[in-house]
Amino acid sequence: MSAGVRWSRRVLLVGGAALIGFGLWTAWSTVPSSQWPSALVWLAGGVVVHDAVLAPLAVAVGAWVLPRVPPVWRGPLRGGLLAAGTLGVLAIALVAGAADRRNPSVVPQDPLAAIAAAAIAVVIGAVVGAFLAGARPRGGDPDADRATSVSRARRSAGPRR
Protein backbone atom coordinates (compact mmCIF):
# COMPACT_ATOMS: atom_id res chain seq x y z
CA MET A 1 0.00 0.00 0.00
CA SER A 2 1.45 3.35 -1.00
CA ALA A 3 1.71 6.18 1.53
CA GLY A 4 -0.96 8.07 -0.42
CA VAL A 5 -3.43 5.22 -0.11
CA ARG A 6 -2.54 4.73 3.54
CA TRP A 7 -3.21 8.35 4.42
CA SER A 8 -6.36 8.64 2.34
CA ARG A 9 -7.60 5.58 4.12
CA ARG A 10 -7.06 7.06 7.54
CA VAL A 11 -8.78 10.29 6.58
CA LEU A 12 -11.74 8.40 5.11
CA LEU A 13 -12.12 6.12 8.13
CA VAL A 14 -11.98 8.96 10.64
CA GLY A 15 -14.15 11.30 8.54
CA GLY A 16 -16.71 8.59 7.84
CA ALA A 17 -16.92 7.62 11.49
CA ALA A 18 -17.48 11.29 12.38
CA LEU A 19 -20.32 11.56 9.85
CA ILE A 20 -21.94 8.40 11.23
CA GLY A 21 -21.54 9.79 14.72
CA PHE A 22 -23.24 13.03 13.74
CA GLY A 23 -26.11 11.07 12.18
CA LEU A 24 -26.57 8.99 15.32
CA TRP A 25 -26.44 12.09 17.51
CA THR A 26 -29.02 13.77 15.25
CA ALA A 27 -31.27 10.73 15.49
CA TRP A 28 -30.82 10.64 19.25
CA SER A 29 -31.66 14.30 19.70
CA THR A 30 -34.46 14.77 17.14
CA VAL A 31 -36.32 11.48 16.77
CA PRO A 32 -38.69 10.84 19.69
CA SER A 33 -37.85 7.57 21.41
CA SER A 34 -41.35 6.27 20.73
CA GLN A 35 -40.39 6.14 17.03
CA TRP A 36 -37.15 4.17 17.46
CA PRO A 37 -38.62 0.66 17.49
CA SER A 38 -40.32 1.18 14.14
CA ALA A 39 -37.23 2.79 12.60
CA LEU A 40 -35.00 -0.03 13.88
CA VAL A 41 -37.35 -2.68 12.50
CA TRP A 42 -37.16 -1.04 9.09
CA LEU A 43 -33.37 -0.70 9.31
CA ALA A 44 -32.92 -4.36 10.17
CA GLY A 45 -35.64 -5.37 7.71
CA GLY A 46 -33.57 -4.40 4.69
CA VAL A 47 -30.67 -6.60 5.77
CA VAL A 48 -32.96 -9.48 6.63
CA VAL A 49 -34.77 -9.30 3.28
CA HIS A 50 -31.41 -9.16 1.52
CA ASP A 51 -29.86 -12.07 3.40
CA ALA A 52 -32.95 -14.24 3.61
CA VAL A 53 -34.58 -13.59 0.25
CA LEU A 54 -32.48 -11.73 -2.30
CA ALA A 55 -29.12 -13.45 -1.75
CA PRO A 56 -30.54 -17.01 -1.73
CA LEU A 57 -32.56 -16.16 -4.84
CA ALA A 58 -29.43 -14.90 -6.55
CA VAL A 59 -27.55 -18.06 -5.49
CA ALA A 60 -30.36 -20.23 -6.83
CA VAL A 61 -30.44 -18.40 -10.14
CA GLY A 62 -26.67 -18.63 -10.43
CA ALA A 63 -26.51 -22.29 -9.51
CA TRP A 64 -29.50 -23.69 -11.34
CA VAL A 65 -30.90 -21.30 -13.89
CA LEU A 66 -27.99 -19.56 -15.58
CA PRO A 67 -26.00 -22.77 -16.29
CA ARG A 68 -29.02 -24.21 -18.09
CA VAL A 69 -29.51 -21.40 -20.58
CA PRO A 70 -27.41 -20.89 -23.70
CA PRO A 71 -24.41 -18.64 -23.04
CA VAL A 72 -25.68 -15.70 -25.11
CA TRP A 73 -28.80 -15.61 -22.96
CA ARG A 74 -27.05 -15.61 -19.58
CA GLY A 75 -26.06 -11.94 -19.54
CA PRO A 76 -29.40 -10.67 -20.85
CA LEU A 77 -31.22 -12.90 -18.38
CA ARG A 78 -29.12 -11.57 -15.51
CA GLY A 79 -29.71 -8.00 -16.70
CA GLY A 80 -33.41 -8.70 -17.19
CA LEU A 81 -33.65 -10.03 -13.64
CA LEU A 82 -31.96 -6.89 -12.35
CA ALA A 83 -34.52 -4.78 -14.20
CA ALA A 84 -37.34 -7.04 -13.02
CA GLY A 85 -36.19 -6.69 -9.40
CA THR A 86 -36.14 -2.92 -9.81
CA LEU A 87 -39.58 -3.00 -11.34
CA GLY A 88 -40.73 -5.21 -8.45
CA VAL A 89 -39.73 -2.57 -5.89
CA LEU A 90 -41.42 0.22 -7.83
CA ALA A 91 -44.48 -1.95 -8.52
CA ILE A 92 -45.03 -2.49 -4.78
CA ALA A 93 -44.87 1.26 -4.24
CA LEU A 94 -47.20 1.94 -7.19
CA VAL A 95 -49.82 -0.58 -6.15
CA ALA A 96 -49.70 0.46 -2.49
CA GLY A 97 -49.82 4.14 -3.44
CA ALA A 98 -52.82 3.59 -5.71
CA ALA A 99 -54.62 1.40 -3.16
CA ASP A 100 -54.57 4.13 -0.56
CA ARG A 101 -54.64 7.28 -2.69
CA ARG A 102 -54.86 10.35 -0.53
CA ASN A 103 -56.28 12.27 -3.45
CA PRO A 104 -56.88 11.55 -7.14
CA SER A 105 -53.62 13.17 -8.29
CA VAL A 106 -51.51 10.61 -6.40
CA VAL A 107 -50.61 7.71 -8.72
CA PRO A 108 -53.15 8.89 -11.29
CA GLN A 109 -52.25 6.09 -13.70
CA ASP A 110 -53.69 2.58 -13.65
CA PRO A 111 -50.92 0.78 -11.74
CA LEU A 112 -51.39 -2.58 -13.44
CA ALA A 113 -51.26 -1.09 -16.93
CA ALA A 114 -48.19 0.91 -15.90
CA ILE A 115 -46.45 -2.18 -14.55
CA ALA A 116 -47.34 -4.17 -17.67
CA ALA A 117 -45.91 -1.44 -19.91
CA ALA A 118 -42.69 -1.36 -17.91
CA ALA A 119 -42.49 -5.18 -17.93
CA ILE A 120 -42.75 -5.19 -21.71
CA ALA A 121 -39.89 -2.69 -21.82
CA VAL A 122 -37.82 -5.05 -19.64
CA VAL A 123 -38.49 -8.03 -21.93
CA ILE A 124 -37.65 -6.02 -25.03
CA GLY A 125 -34.46 -4.86 -23.34
CA ALA A 126 -33.42 -8.43 -22.56
CA VAL A 127 -34.14 -9.61 -26.11
CA VAL A 128 -32.17 -6.72 -27.59
CA GLY A 129 -29.38 -7.55 -25.14
CA ALA A 130 -29.33 -11.17 -26.30
CA PHE A 131 -29.22 -10.03 -29.89
CA LEU A 132 -26.25 -7.78 -29.15
CA ALA A 133 -24.55 -10.53 -27.15
CA GLY A 134 -24.99 -12.92 -30.06
CA ALA A 135 -23.17 -10.52 -32.28
CA ARG A 136 -20.08 -10.58 -30.08
CA PRO A 137 -17.16 -13.02 -30.23
CA ARG A 138 -18.24 -16.31 -28.71
CA GLY A 139 -16.19 -18.03 -26.09
CA GLY A 140 -14.67 -21.35 -26.97
CA ASP A 141 -14.16 -20.55 -30.61
CA PRO A 142 -10.86 -22.15 -31.57
CA ASP A 143 -10.07 -19.43 -34.07
CA ALA A 144 -10.55 -16.21 -32.16
CA ASP A 145 -9.47 -13.91 -34.97
CA ARG A 146 -11.95 -15.36 -37.34
CA ALA A 147 -14.67 -15.14 -34.72
CA THR A 148 -13.95 -11.47 -34.24
CA SER A 149 -14.12 -10.63 -37.89
CA VAL A 150 -17.27 -12.68 -38.36
CA SER A 151 -18.94 -11.05 -35.43
CA ARG A 152 -17.87 -7.64 -36.62
CA ALA A 153 -19.50 -8.34 -39.93
CA ARG A 154 -22.58 -9.59 -38.12
CA ARG A 155 -22.67 -6.57 -35.87
CA SER A 156 -22.44 -4.13 -38.77
CA ALA A 157 -25.18 -6.05 -40.50
CA GLY A 158 -27.28 -5.96 -37.37
CA PRO A 159 -29.02 -2.59 -37.45
CA ARG A 160 -30.10 -3.07 -41.06
CA ARG A 161 -32.16 -6.10 -40.18
Partner 1 sequence: MTAARTPPRRLPGVPRAEDFRSPVHDPRVVARVGALLGGAIVVLFVTGLLSHLSQNPVPWLPFGPSPSWGYRLSQGVHVTVGFACVPLLLAKLYAAYPRLFERPALRGPLHALERGSVAVLVAATTFQIVTGVLNVFQVYPWKFSFLWVHYAAAWVVVGSVVVHVGVKLPVIVPALRSSVAELRAEESGGGPRPPSVVPPAVVPPAGVAADQGQEEDPAQAATSRRGFLAAVAVTTLGVVALTVGQTVRPLAPFAVLAPRDPRVGPQGLPVNKTARSAGVADTATDPAWRLVLTGPGGTRELSRDDLLAMDAVTAVVPIACVEGWSATATWDGVRVRDLVALVGGTADDDVQVDSLQQGGSYASSLLPGAYVAAEDTLLALRLAGEDLDLDHGYPARLVAPNRPGVLQTKWVARMTVLRPGGAA
- Residues in 98-127 at the binding interface with partner 1, rule: CB under 8 A: 100-109, 113-114, 117-118, 121-122, 125
Binds partner 1 by CB under 8 A, chosen from 3, 53, 73, 97: 97
Residues 68-87 that bind partner 1 (CB under 8 A): 68, 70-71, 74-76, 78-80, 82-83, 85-87
| Strand residue runs (E) in 1-159 | none
Give the residue, chosen from 138, 146, 152, 154, that forms a contact with partner 1 under the rule CB under 8 A.
138
Residue 31 falls in which region: left (phi positive, over 0), alpha (psi -120 to 50) or beta:
beta
Q: How far apart are CA 111 and CA 93, in angstroms?
A: 10
Which listed residue (52, 53, 96, 123) binds partner 1 by CB under 8 A?
A: 96
| CA–CA distance, 64 with 39 (Å, rounded to integer) | 37
117 touches 63 (CB < 8 A): no
| Cβ neighbours for 149, distance < 8 A, ≥ 6 positions apart | none
One residue of 3, 30, 142, 160 binding partner 1 per CB under 8 A? 30
**Using rule CB under 8 A, residue 157 touches partner 1:** no
